[in-house]
Amino acid sequence: MDFDDMLKDAWQAQAVPAAQALLHRRVQRQRWRHRLLRALEVALTVIAVLVFGQALADGRLSPSHWLLLPFYLVFLPGAWLFILRGPRRAASGLSESAHDYARLRMAQLRTGLRDLWLARVAAWSLLGYSVAANVGTWLHGDADWQSAALVLFGLSLAWALGIAGYGSHRRRALLREYRALRSLGGD
């Protein structure tokens, strides 16, 4: 009998209430975090639709609106396509075998790693778009367009650096947990 089988048997044989309670709290915390992120995504989408919808209805589109509109026309549908396309994993009971738990958690970690990659691609895409917008406005725009393009560049640079810092920290944590669960999952 190898170590994985012994660990699996120990996991299934001893249902330690304290460990189950800890795991249950962790699952609940993950669910709340997921709900909070989805609420934030919905709020950002609603705010963007309201801001651009009001500007379009009033006919008062400023240079800032024109610079951000193409990005949101691509970003919002793309983001929601990935969110809605993502796998739905039913929260299973805590009494599953260690192998099943490990496989489920590894799938969640892979989804988290994919989301980090998408966030990094989106941040660098926004930075690239802001550089292109700055080049265009400095070649062909007036002072209003140039100042709006500089604000867009500053915000996109801050966002890209923030995502890079957060993403590298979070990626290391996810990979560390993934490697620890790999032996239980059998993958």
**Predicted confidence (pLDDT) per residue in 108-164, tens digit:** 888 888 888 988 888 898 899 999 999 999 999 889 889 988 988 998 899 899 989
CA distances (Å), origin 153, targets 40, 44, 47, 69: 23, 20, 21, 15
pLDDT higher than 60, residue 32: yes
Predicted pLDDT of residue 33: 82
CB 55 within 8 A of CB 65: yes
pLDDT higher than 60, residue 51: yes
Element (H, E) at 153: helix 143-185
The pLDDT of 25-36, averaged and rounded, is 81
The sign of the torsion formed by the CA atoms of 28, 30, 35, 39 equals positive
Q: How far is CA 123 from the centre of its chain?
A: 11
pLDDT higher at 88 or 143: 143
Predicted pLDDT of residue 114: 87
Mean pLDDT, the chain, integer = 78
pLDDT higher than 70, residue 86: no
The pLDDT of 76-104, averaged and rounded, is 63
Predicted pLDDT of residue 168: 92
Q: Confidence band (pLDDT; 50, 70, 90) for 95?
A: low
Q: Tokens 């396309």: give the residue.
A: 85
| Stretch among 48-57, 94-103, 139-148 having the lowest mean pLDDT | 94-103
Tokens of 31: 């669910």
Predicted pLDDT of residue 141: 86
CA distances (Å), origin 30, targets 23, 47, 170: 11, 26, 14
